[in-house]
Structure 1
Amino acid sequence: MSRLPENVVRAAIDWQMRLRGNPELQAPFNEWLRRDPRHQLAWQRLQQMAGMFQASQLPRAEQSIPLLQRASADLSRRRMLKMLGLVAGGTALATVSAPPTWHPGYITGLGERRQIDLGNGTQVTLNGDSSVDVQGGELLLRSGEVLVDGARWQARCRFAECSGREARVALRERDGYSEIRVDRGEVLVTSPVGQRRLQAGEGLGASASALTELGKSRLDPFAWSRGLLVVNDMPLGDFLAEAGRYRHGWLGCDERIADLRLSGVFRLDEPASLLDNISHLLPVKVVERTRWWVRVVPA
């Protein structure tokens, strides 16, 4: 069991706070993650803790630091609860995100995809940089994105519970809300603020305060499970932000070309050719200082 330096844990907690509502910090955060394996471990442990409690219920930094330093990356939830009770001096920390029977399940790295059989005829495909817990035939999305396909299944995301019947659905955790999009069948979405039934082709954003219908996306929300990035009339800046989810390093563009529109089918497993294709479709060129720093600029 490794013990993390206090400065590393404090940095992870600082990033947790700074990233809320500041998506422009994602690139420097990714760079910080890759700078040191201990950064990734500290972040993983922090997310394990955050997934168990609402953000407002998390211990303060002075309480979290010794816990994160000691905690093993695969601690069971029950043991984590016990440890939190000790460092909090016996103060009850209520409102957990799942029953005590949930346990750590599956985690994928950047650019990795993984298929999981829940054993009840339900197949789950986990996107890169994602994590889920499983219990029997139920699934809990901790972070990232999953595709669930089966006759009957139950799934939870940050802000809602979903029940599917002969349904195929993509669940994605975004900044401040959970995105739910149905490809086939019917899905019942339940949250503290309401309940909706979704049919094929429909999408919903679930947040702490509302359920919001989502229009047709410029991004095919299911294509990543086939190793593809399929976009239609998407701004280049948004496209690069999406493509950056599947590669290491920083990927961005000059603000003068961020609004150029892009349509096409791109292979996620071929990041080099993906960038080459952009320069053939738009009046831009790719500047690659290192494989970790890539910028798209006007041609």
Structure 2
Amino acid sequence: MRDQAIAWFTLAQSGDISPQEHQQLQQWRQADPEHERAWQRLAGIPRQLQQRAAQLNNPVARNALQHTRTLDANRRQLLKAFVGIGLFGASAWQARDSLWLQGALADYHTVTGERRHHTLGDGTQVWLNTRTALDVRYSAGERLLVLHQGEIDILSGQDASGRPLLVHTAEARLRPLGTRFNVRSEPNGHGTLLSVSSGQVAAKPFTGGIEQVIPSGQQARIDQYGIAAPQPMDQSTTAWIDGFIVAQRMRLGSFIAELSRYHVGVLRCDPAVADLYLTGSFPLNNIEQIFALLEKSLPVRLQRRTQYWITVTARV
């Protein structure tokens, strides 16, 4: 679906779309609400990108459109063509895998501080945490969810045709066995954190090794080296679904790192106060209230360079 949306969008922006192609585009947009949603998402990409996309030679878009249903490589070819005209700048091809572009082109995504819930066609429910990009690739043989970044919580649905539900992250292939589970893709190569609320999830690293079943109430980290020994699941792991960060004697440094996921801009903790501890439930819908609680309950203050650059430091 994403591939088709990209190709249709590029052809429409070329300025040389035929009446027949325009009619086909309208039919495609009206055929499925998800098609229209994908179209609107691309239309929301900054105007500069749209203007530069119009420079793309329209036969390239038509050629990609003819094959997007079967060849994943065509999306890459199309994006490379964007790069060829300077659509994303000198280093744009590397930016294809950037957080921004993944979010802009993913089937489902959230921005900083946003959380969403979706019910998929098979009844599977997916909750998306902040800064998350998720693709849904259902086929005749499987139901595949690809988590590019961020965090999701999944309540798996029963598929009438018996297709297996799979979740892929950068590090692992996850196969739920009738379950609810949480998957967090850590940035900077820190791996995937799998937490199983109920049922079981079979996990296998892409780097090799045997498949390991993680039972209910356990969590395990998966990285390039394999699967770490499962540990009891931290019950605060899924508090974000209800709109909270729950801290139980949590280091302030760790708390601020977690809170920064929901804050637009830079939010950091001075090492001098990072080892202070705090306990409580903090509402994510009001970050300023959390800041006020920190200054009230701990010997710290907020140093604001700008609205978007905040450091938690020691109170003088």
Normalised by the length of structure 2, the TM-score is: 0.62
Pick closer, same or farther for the CA change 1:169–1:271 going to 2, 3 Å.
same
Contact residue 217 and residue 233 of structure 2 kept, 8 A = no
2:181 counterpart residue number: 169
Write the deviation string for residues 137-165 of structure 1: whole angstroms up to 9, x where unpaired.
Answer: 32110111111112453211111111223
Q: Displacement of 1:82 after TM fit? A: 3.5
Partner residue of 2:152 out of 146, 157, 160? 146
Pick closer, same or farther for the CA change 1:178–1:233 going to 2, 3 Å.
same
Q: Distance in 2 between matches of 1:258 and 1:110?
A: 23
The percentage of counterpart residues that share the same residue type is: 29
Pick closer, same or farther for the CA change 1:241–1:79 going to 2, 3 Å.
same
Is 1:80 matched up with 2:75?
yes
Contact residue 189 and residue 196 of structure 1 kept, 8 A = yes
Q: Displacement of 1:260 after TM fit? A: 0.6
Q: Displacement of 1:275 after TM fit? A: 1.0
Contact residue 214 and residue 230 of structure 2 kept, 8 A = no
Is 1:290 matched up with 2:292?
no
Write the deviation string for residues 58-109 of structure 1: whole angstroms up to 9, x where unpaired.
Answer: xxxxxxxxxxxx99xxx9644234458999xxxxxxxxxxxxxxx9411211
Q: Distance in 1 between matches of 2:135 and 2:146?
A: 5
Pick closer, same or farther for the CA change 1:117–1:151 going to 2, 3 Å.
closer
Q: Distance in 2 between matches of 1:171 and 1:269?
A: 22
Contact residue 125 and residue 157 of structure 2 kept, 8 A = no
Write the deviation string for residues 179-232 of structure 1: whole angstroms up to 9, x where unpaired.
Answer: 111111111112322211111221111112211125357682211111111121
Is 1:131 matched up with 2:143?
no
Contiguous gaps of at least 5 residues in structure 2: 1-8, 11-44, 50-59, 84-104, 159-164
- DSSP 3-state at the match of 1:121: coil
Write the deviation string for residues 244-274 of structure 1: whole angstroms up to 9, x where unpaired.
Answer: 1101121122211111111111111100001
Q: Distance in 1 between matches of 2:209 and 2:80?
A: 30
2:117 counterpart residue number: 115
Q: Distance in 1 between matches of 2:76 and 2:314?
A: 53
Is 1:182 matched up with 2:196?
yes
Query: Structure with the greater relative contact order (CA < 8 A, sep ≥ 6): 1 or 2?
Result: 1
2:137 maps to a residue whose letter is Q
Normalised by the length of structure 1, the TM-score is: 0.65
Contact residue 193 and residue 208 of structure 1 kept, 8 A = no
Runs of 4+ in 1 over 3 A off after TM superposition: 75-78, 81-87, 214-219
1:145 maps to a residue whose letter is E
Q: Distance in 2 between matches of 1:201 and 1:151?
A: 20
1:231 counterpart residue number: 247
Contact residue 111 and residue 129 of structure 1 kept, 8 A = yes
2:272 maps to a residue whose letter is R
Q: Distance in 1 between matches of 2:219 and 2:234?
A: 13
Write the deviation string for residues 99-150 of structure 1: whole angstroms up to 9, x where unpaired.
Answer: xxxx941121111112121222210011111101102232110111111112
Q: How does 1:1-299 map to 2 (within 5 A)?
A: 77-83=72-78, 104-136=106-138, 137-151=143-157, 153-174=165-186, 175-176=188-189, 177-191=191-205, 192-216=208-232, 220-299=236-315
1:126 maps to a residue whose letter is L
Contact residue 219 and residue 232 of structure 1 kept, 8 A = no
Task: Give the number of equivalent residue pairs.
Answer: 219
Contact residue 194 and residue 211 of structure 1 kept, 8 A = no
Larger radius of gyration: 2
